[in-house]
A and B are shown apart, each in its own frame.
Chain A
Amino acid sequence: MKPIHWKIIIICCLSTLVIVFILPTKPDKKTVIVSTPNLDPLPLYSKYKFKKTDKFIRIGTQPLYMPSSLIVEALKRDSILKEELLKMGLKIYFYDFLKGDDVNFFLTLGDLDAGIGGDMPALTAASNLDIIIPAIIQRGFISIVANRQMLIEDLEGSRIGYAFGSNAHYALLTTLAGAKLSTNEVKLIPMEVTQMPDALYANKITAFSAWEPTPTIALKKYPDTTIIHQRLSFGFLYFLTDFYQRRPKAVSQILAAEIRAIRWMQAARQNLLRACRWNITAIELAFGTKIDLSVDDLAAIAMKDILGQFSNPAIIEDDLKEDGPLHRELMFLINIKKVPPSTLWTQIRQKFMPEILGNVWLNKEQFRLDEFNYQNPGDIQ
């Protein structure tokens, strides 16, 4: 054999090795991905010192999850809530996270008692953790933002940014499926929502799927971009069952505070704007960056979504039906192996407990739903 042939063989072998080692290995289809990566090393989370005693309620929140973040900001400052919890010997702490999966990770560790997440994280948590879900805290749109006006079908062959396992991921895949596009016909690029607008502008992606305020930020920052599709999505407030069983009244007080917050922001635009300012500050504190949106922009988002639509954060029975939206989302999570394939909807359904919120409504006076007292937040970690 001539030496050149040896060179070719050697080059081929080396190339094969490089490909084998560099290309990500596809997970075994039988494997169910239920583990969450270790997030402790993240600078944001590494500074947290979770209060691990029975006297604290620890809630994981998402400042970049609009408009639920406005409700959370109101909760942080709700003096009535503090007062009621103090009566029970409890203090409440809020910890900011980038996305619902991160909240779930720390719930798994036992560092949190409750969390706020979209329907995907909530269903994931319901599959992998022992939780209860008593109320929705968000009902807004996931948007697919593209660099030009187009149909969903036109995304074939494009690179699309998304956050894995999130509501936006689900919305994207469902929309693509509706347009008869499979995941093999597009290139899905996992990324953080904060990176998406710039990536779209830099033509690194053709479109992205995200929840508010990211689409609004993109539209404002880069006016050529456009929303080509939107999909309604939910966010939930959920608690570890163990916590609920130990402190059921505390859970009711937090739900009452949520109702109060919605009512308070609906009562006057000034209140809403105030909450938006708190949210902007919270984002800066948590992530060290300024959000590219004004207070009015946030208010508009809020009005367009939850605040303009309803004042009762109750989970609607229709949504919990077999083959309803939440059931379909669970199937999606099973398909992407985010939850174990053995998970049954009936098991998940039992974890939705709207009656807790109903009880709050029945005792409006006890839970002081018509009183508002928002002061500076205390003990925010």
Chain B
Amino acid sequence: MGGILSFKKIKSQMILWIFTAVLLPVIIVCTTIYYQRVTAIKTEAYSKLTAIRDLKVSQLNSWLAERKRDFDYISKDIEIRNLSTVFTHKKKTKKDQKIILSAENFLDSFKKEYHAYHEVFIIDIATGIVQISTNKASQGLDASQEPYFIEPLKTGSFYIRDIYYSTQLKRPAMCFAIPITSLDLDGKKQFAIMVARIDLENSLYDLLLQRTGMGKTGETLIVNKDLMALNDLRWYKNAPLKLKIDAKPARLASQGNVGVIEALDYRGINVLASYTYLPETRWGFVAKQDLSEIYAPIKKMLVNIIIILLISGLFAYVLAHMLAINFSKPIMEFTKIARKIQAGDLSARSIITYDNEYSILSRTFNGMAESIEAHTKVQKALRTLDKILVTSTTINDFGKKFVEKIIEYTGSAFGSFYLFSPDKKAFEHIFSMGFDMKRLESLNENIIKDAFNKAFTTQKITYIHEISKDTVFTINTIAGTALPRGMVTIPLVIKEQVIGVIAMGTLANYSETAVGILEQIQSGAGTALSNMISAEKTATMAHKLQSNNVELEAQARQLQAVTKNLKQQNTKLDTQSRQLKEVNRLKSEFLSNMSHELRTPLNSIMALSSVLKMNSAQKLTTEEVQYLDVIKRNGKRLLDLINDILDLSKIEAGHMEITLSFFSIKTTIEDLMDSLRLLAREKNLTLRMEFAPDLPKIQSDEKRVHQILLNLISNAVKFTDKGEIAVLADFNDDKICLRIIDTGIGIARKDLPLIFEEFKQVDGSTSRSYEGTGLGLAIAYKATINLGGELSVESKIGGGTTFTLHLPVTWQGQPQPIKPSDTTQPPEMIENRKTILVVDDEPESVDIICDLLCLEGYNTLKATSGTQALALAKTHQPFAVTLDLSMPEMDGLETLQRLKKHPETSDIPVIIVSVSDDKTGLALGAVGHVTKPVISDVLIKEIKKTCVQAFSIMVADDNEFDRKHIIQIITQEKMEAIPVENGKQCIKMIKKKMPDVLVLDLMMPELDGFGVLKTLRSDTLTMSLPVIMVTAKDLTPEEKKRLNQYVVSVLYKNNLTSKKLVEKIKDHLRGLEKPLIPETTQKKQKKKRVLVVEDNKAAIIQIKMILEQEGYHVDIARGGKKAEEFVQDIIPDGIILDLMMPDIDGFDVLDNIRNTKKTANIPVLILTAKNLTPDDLKKLSANNIQQLVQKGNVEREDLLLKVKIMLGEKPKTSSLPVEHTQKTKKAGIKHPKKIPEIARLDKALPTILVIEDNPDNLLTIKAVLKNKYTIMEASDGEKGLAAALQSLPDLILLDISLPGMDGYVITKKIKADERAGRIPVIALTAHAMKGDRDKIISAGCNDYISKPIDPKTVLEVIKKWLEEKL
């Protein structure tokens, strides 16, 4: 136990606990008794004081009640009540005197009956004068202001006046008063107040001064509400009404409390007080007694208890001390002995002889000491022996030292050590001491075995006590040879094998200590011996190892030399590998760059040729149009080639993206076959498909599989001239097997290994008959490998070809991760602008479109690939996307599909921007299509037209129901509705924000619809705001007329349908575009609006394009009816009107326009192909038509000139000269058509033979030479040769790669001809690699022109050779 209860000595601790154990119960008992007694005394005191208090209060109340009863009795006495008649008489009659006397006597007798009544008197209510009194001196006094008069008079009941100082009595007194009622009026009339003054000395105070049971210090006291003492006190003389008792009991009592409390009294002494409140008199009453007196018995008891405790404590201490000494003395003895042993005196022993447990402890203690002594000896011996074991270096040394020491410690007479020799399988003597060595020499192996047999068998120490006299183990002493009395054999054992033996002998018996040493030494000695044997063996082995190491070191040196060589080789290999990788990378990069560099101009060529064809189709001759077709077609071919190269390079570089999906291979094949069916039909080939039943869907890259099969099947079609193409599909467990079998030309066996190599065609000669890049099969092969499949071919010349494609049903490889988009260009976004994503693989196109869009107030994002576009669309959620169709990797349609497929991007409107007219995009979900070249207005209009815009429609109607109804219709159409409740608010709101359309109620308070319209139309800013009037009023014709001047439609509320309203609103919104640039700017740049009324689509496009390019806003009405509807809502700045239309012809339209007031003055330009009759001209003239454009021969400048004149604009100077225009106008003739250049050429032109198999190239060359030379053409080598030899042209342009007979052969043959040999042959070839030119010239060609064709170069070279010829 710690802390204050921890002692150094058990004795002290025992004294404490025994003392505590004895004293504690005594303390508890005494304390309990004390508290019980205190509680009892207190309770008794409380009860006694409370009883006294209640008794006194009861006496006090009884006293008051008696006074009350007395008064009640007197007040009702007839003697007294008779006074009522007396008091009313001013002059007292005898009778009155008699009654008064009688009453006085009555009061006197009453006073005498109770000595406390000092005076009793009666006051006349009417006067307040004391009429009768037991004290004659009081009669006639005015008491009208006394409370004893006023209070009972007020309440009509008994009244007690609190204790007061009476001047009559010269001491405290009380008053009682009661009204007296007369005998008449049913005794209800009060006529007097009877009052009695009480002398407290002889009444109330007597009660209070009785202090029975309150001891020597107890007393009772009463206080009034002001805490003034009202009675005499034990400790304070003359207290009544003089002493203020501000003690707690009195205060509590006066405040209305009842209870018992220990507190200070007015003397400042602690008292026990029982207090109460007397409501009727409002007195506080206290009965109290000094606490010292109450607690006196408690003090006495406390002294007794303390004495008892002291005696008990003393007794307890003595007892504890004695017990502690008895307990601690033996312990101290044991401590002494233990300290001796601790100091090294192992012989110290206890001599305690108590006849109790201490005696047992003493014996046990001595035994323990002896045991410790013996153990110590053994340990000492063992430590010495251990030292020997550790320090011995050889077995002999060990044996000697060990035997010597063990003899010493065990008191043996002799000792001998034998070691077992495994080689000899016998014990060898190592060392002996004390033996008769002569006898020992005679020992043989058998004797030793016999001697140690038991020890061998048991492997334990063996003791022999009965030694035979003939033992060899005798001991040499000075006195002679002695026999041992006891012998011990110690086998040294390791791993259950006896490896040595020690034999000991003694002349006396072995002591326990000796036995202990021997027992404990056995295992240690065995281990030490074993270690020593092992060490000797190890030393031997180490020696051997050292010699082996020398040999190994020599070998290691040789290996190091070899390793060094290998490292050098590896370094070289690494370098080569890196170089190879770099070469491969450079190759892929080169291919990629080249493809890109090739495609960029190529796309421009294709795009521009398409644009050229589209824009200028009318101007070009059929031939020129064909040129454009050739440009486009060849561009497409070249593009395909480039795409193939890029594709291949990607596959080779391991960048092939694999997009996995489950798809039906059957469907893929069927689709492919369908697409090739037309081509096959042209070649009269049969297409056949065979599918195994239950052909499973496969998981692979559908696009790649499609590509592979397309290459294979289209290849088959290409190289097959007759017969059939069959595609057979089968499957085994995990693979689909597809065989594409054709009956085509076949492949020679030697060429089969080459066909899957890129740029290798079997027909790789310059005279090949089949087009193609030679990449298709290579791509198919490598893509197959990447998809985990196999592609093989079997063929023979003329025997057709079979391609076998194996594809895994489930792709096993890891899909290659798609590289993150590298186009994270931080878009420079302007707030509050919509963002459009521009997707085009040509950066120039992207830049052009972006610039256009920026000018129109859009933010733009750029993407040059489908992948990039998808990423940007997901990230930025653009407002719209413009998408090119022709893109490498992922084309526009695929990009579109992916955009629409993904939930995050599916809602983004996509507008196709392409050179192609292909409308597939619209079918796939695009919302618009714009053809390249991009015209700003067209693109913007398309974006605005197709993309949902929130038009704002203001609804002005004072009728809440109607207003809400219209707003609901508008909001359902996703348009913004701006509600206004009256005309004034409408005008105010329009000034703040101009709506697109105003739906206006006619009848409104304050400012009606007419007023609103008038205001709007008088302001230039709001003049043109479309207004749809909605009214419940039946309009008079005059009102209608008025309205028609200002509004675009009038709808009636009684038959207003949502459809009708929406239709009207949309009619006005049609063509109306939300301004994306500030309104003010827009106003400044407001375009003139021209309505083209035409049913011919071509004419519409032509005119629209010309006018829009010039900056006009063009509306189209396809027919007269549409035109009439249009002008009802929108008044254009001018109209171009076709006369011949199917529904209503132009004349009728013109009439209607002119007959309507608001359209009567619209300028109209007539567009017609009709030969106008004089009547027609008259009609036109009557309708104020002065401008005509002849259809089918619309010249841009002419049209623009006439439009400008029609619109009252100043013609541009670049337009046709006025003179010319005027002449034309006056002549009324068409602008003369340009004379074709060819017409002006001399017919005797040099003849040039063009030998070219490619029709496009042929056409191109012809185009170059057209009108300059007479052209002959030949589409293959043989024909060309024949033409050259027969026709002998002035010059031959010769393609080198020709089917059948190539250019080299032709040249040789021509040059070999006598006549034709002089003709200059100019090679025109795409073989533009290093060495090609020399090869061609050396073949006999006069000159060399590489493709692509540069017309200027061609003409110069031709000119040079013709001049030379001439």
Q: Hey, which bits of chain A sit against chain B, CB under 8 A? A: 139, 141, 144, 149, 151-153, 175, 178-179, 227-233, 305, 308-312, 318, 325, 358, 361-362, 364, 369-370
Of A309, A318, A370, which one neighbours B280 at CB under 8 angstroms? A309
In contact, A325 and B256 (Cβ under 8 angstroms)? yes
26 pairs of residues in contact across A and B, judged by CB atoms under 8 Å: A149-B46, A151-B46, A151-B260, A152-B261, A175-B257, A175-B259, A178-B261, A227-B258, A229-B259, A230-B257, A230-B277, A231-B255, A231-B256, A231-B257, A231-B258, A232-B277, A232-B279, A309-B279, A310-B280, A311-B155, A311-B157, A312-B155, A358-B154, A361-B154, A370-B156, A370-B188
Chain B residues contacting A151 (CB-CB under 8 Å) are 46, 260-262
Chain A residues contacting B225 (CB-CB under 8 Å) are 318
Chain B residues contacting A305 (CB-CB under 8 Å) are 279
Chain A residues contacting B155 (CB-CB under 8 Å) are 311-312, 361
Which partner residue on chain B sits nearest A139 by CB separation?
A: B279
Chain A residues contacting B279 (CB-CB under 8 Å) are 139, 232, 305, 309-310
Which partner residue on chain B sits nearest A227 by CB separation?
A: B258
* In the complex, B252 has a CB within 8 A of chain A: yes
Question: Residues 88-103 of chain B: 1 if any A CB is under 8 Å from the residue's CB, otherwise 0?
Answer: 0000000000000000
Question: Residues 714-727 of chain B: 1 if any A CB is under 8 Å from the residue's CB, otherwise 0?
Answer: 00000000000000
Chain B residues contacting A232 (CB-CB under 8 Å) are 255-257, 277, 279
* In the complex, B47 has a CB within 8 A of chain A: yes
Chain A residues contacting B255 (CB-CB under 8 Å) are 231-232, 325
* In the complex, B43 has a CB within 8 A of chain A: yes
Question: Residues 126-157 of chain B: 1 if any A CB is under 8 Å from the residue's CB, otherwise 0?
Answer: 00000000000000000000000000001111
In contact, A152 and B154 (Cβ under 8 angstroms)? no
Docked complex Cα distance between A44 and B188 (Å): 44
Question: Residues 254-289 of chain B: 1 if any A CB is under 8 Å from the residue's CB, otherwise 0?
Answer: 011111111000000000000011011000000000
Docked complex Cα distance between A312 and B259 (Å): 27
Residue from the set A144, A175, A232, A362 with the largest chain B CB neighbour count within 10 Å: A232
Chain A residues contacting B262 (CB-CB under 8 Å) are 151, 153
Chain A residues contacting B257 (CB-CB under 8 Å) are 175, 178, 229-232
Q: Hey, which bits of chain B sit against chain A, CB under 8 A? A: 43, 46-47, 154-157, 188, 225, 248, 252, 255-262, 276-277, 279-280
Chain A residues contacting B277 (CB-CB under 8 Å) are 230, 232
In contact, B252 and A178 (Cβ under 8 angstroms)? yes
Of A228, A361, A369, which one neighbours B260 at CB under 8 angstroms? A228
Chain A residues contacting B46 (CB-CB under 8 Å) are 149, 151
A68 to chain B, nearest CB (A): 15
Docked complex Cα distance between A153 and B261 (Å): 9
In contact, B258 and A312 (Cβ under 8 angstroms)? no
Extra inter-chain contacts (5) besides given A141-B258, A325-B256, A370-B188, CB under 8 Å:
A175-B257, A178-B257, A178-B261, A231-B258, A325-B255
Docked complex Cα distance between A369 and B190 (Å): 14
Which partner residue on chain A sits nearest B189 by CB separation?
A: A365
Chain B residues contacting A358 (CB-CB under 8 Å) are 154
Docked complex Cα distance between A116 and B157 (Å): 25
B1193 to chain A, nearest CB (A): 92
**Secondary structure call for the A interface:** mixed
Chain A residues contacting B260 (CB-CB under 8 Å) are 151, 228-229
Which partner residue on chain B sits nearest A229 by CB separation?
A: B259
Residue from the set B47, B155, B260 with the largest chain A CB neighbour count within 10 Å: B155
Chain B residues contacting A318 (CB-CB under 8 Å) are 225
Docked complex Cα distance between A186 and B539 (Å): 94
In contact, B43 and A149 (Cβ under 8 angstroms)? yes
B71 to chain A, nearest CB (A): 14
Which partner residue on chain B sits nearest A178 by CB separation?
A: B252
In contact, A149 and B156 (Cβ under 8 angstroms)? no
Docked complex Cα distance between A325 and B256 (Å): 10
Which partner residue on chain B sits nearest A259 by CB separation?
A: B155
Residue from the set A139, A229, A362 with the largest chain B CB neighbour count within 10 Å: A229
Which partner residue on chain B sits nearest A141 by CB separation?
A: B258
Chain A residues contacting B47 (CB-CB under 8 Å) are 149
Docked complex Cα distance between A312 and B276 (Å): 22
Docked complex Cα distance between A353 and B157 (Å): 22
Chain A residues contacting B248 (CB-CB under 8 Å) are 178
Docked complex Cα distance between A312 and B155 (Å): 7
B1167 to chain A, nearest CB (A): 86
Chain B residues contacting A233 (CB-CB under 8 Å) are 256
Chain A residues contacting B261 (CB-CB under 8 Å) are 151-152, 178-179
B454 to chain A, nearest CB (A): 61
A-B pairs with lowest CB-CB distance, top 6: A232-B256, A230-B258, A229-B259, A309-B279, A312-B155, A309-B280
| A229-B157 contact, Cβ under 8 Å, with A149-B43, A149-B47 | no
Docked complex Cα distance between A369 and B47 (Å): 44
Chain B residues contacting A179 (CB-CB under 8 Å) are 261
In contact, B280 and A312 (Cβ under 8 angstroms)? no
Residue from the set B43, B156, B259 with the largest chain A CB neighbour count within 10 Å: B259
A176 to chain B, nearest CB (A): 12
Docked complex Cα distance between A222 and B349 (Å): 79
Docked complex Cα distance between A64 and B140 (Å): 52
Chain A residues contacting B43 (CB-CB under 8 Å) are 149
Which partner residue on chain A sits nearest B46 by CB separation?
A: A149
| A308-B256 contact, Cβ under 8 Å, with A149-B47, A152-B261 | no
Chain B residues contacting A364 (CB-CB under 8 Å) are 156
Docked complex Cα distance between A179 and B255 (Å): 15
Chain B residues contacting A369 (CB-CB under 8 Å) are 156
Of B157, B188, B252, which one neighbours A312 at CB under 8 angstroms? B157
In contact, B259 and A228 (Cβ under 8 angstroms)? yes
In contact, A230 and B188 (Cβ under 8 angstroms)? no
Chain A residues contacting B259 (CB-CB under 8 Å) are 144, 152, 175, 228-230
Docked complex Cα distance between A361 and B190 (Å): 14
Docked complex Cα distance between A231 and B258 (Å): 6
Docked complex Cα distance between A309 and B280 (Å): 5
Chain B residues contacting A309 (CB-CB under 8 Å) are 279-280
Residue from the set B248, B256, B261 with the largest chain A CB neighbour count within 10 Å: B256
A224 to chain B, nearest CB (A): 13
Which partner residue on chain A sits nearest B255 by CB separation?
A: A325
Docked complex Cα distance between A370 and B155 (Å): 11
B226 to chain A, nearest CB (A): 10
Which partner residue on chain A sits nearest B153 by CB separation?
A: A361
Docked complex Cα distance between A283 and B981 (Å): 67
Docked complex Cα distance between A222 and B1262 (Å): 136
A259 to chain B, nearest CB (A): 9
Which partner residue on chain B sits nearest A228 by CB separation?
A: B259
A160 to chain B, nearest CB (A): 15
Docked complex Cα distance between A370 and B179 (Å): 14
Docked complex Cα distance between A178 and B260 (Å): 12
In contact, A308 and B156 (Cβ under 8 angstroms)? no
B958 to chain A, nearest CB (A): 44
Docked complex Cα distance between A149 and B260 (Å): 10
Chain B residues contacting A325 (CB-CB under 8 Å) are 255-256
Docked complex Cα distance between A310 and B156 (Å): 12
Docked complex Cα distance between A90 and B894 (Å): 95
Docked complex Cα distance between A364 and B257 (Å): 34
Docked complex Cα distance between A312 and B151 (Å): 10
Docked complex Cα distance between A310 and B259 (Å): 23
Chain A residues contacting B256 (CB-CB under 8 Å) are 141, 231-233, 325
Of B156, B258, B280, which one neighbours A229 at CB under 8 angstroms? B258
Docked complex Cα distance between A152 and B279 (Å): 22
Docked complex Cα distance between A152 and B43 (Å): 13
Docked complex Cα distance between A50 and B1149 (Å): 86
Residue from the set B157, B188, B257, B280 with the largest chain A CB neighbour count within 10 Å: B257
B530 to chain A, nearest CB (A): 49
Docked complex Cα distance between A178 and B250 (Å): 13
A149 to chain B, nearest CB (A): 5
Which partner residue on chain A sits nearest B260 by CB separation?
A: A151
In contact, A308 and B154 (Cβ under 8 angstroms)? no
Chain A residues contacting B252 (CB-CB under 8 Å) are 178
Chain B residues contacting A230 (CB-CB under 8 Å) are 257-259, 276-277
Docked complex Cα distance between A151 and B47 (Å): 12
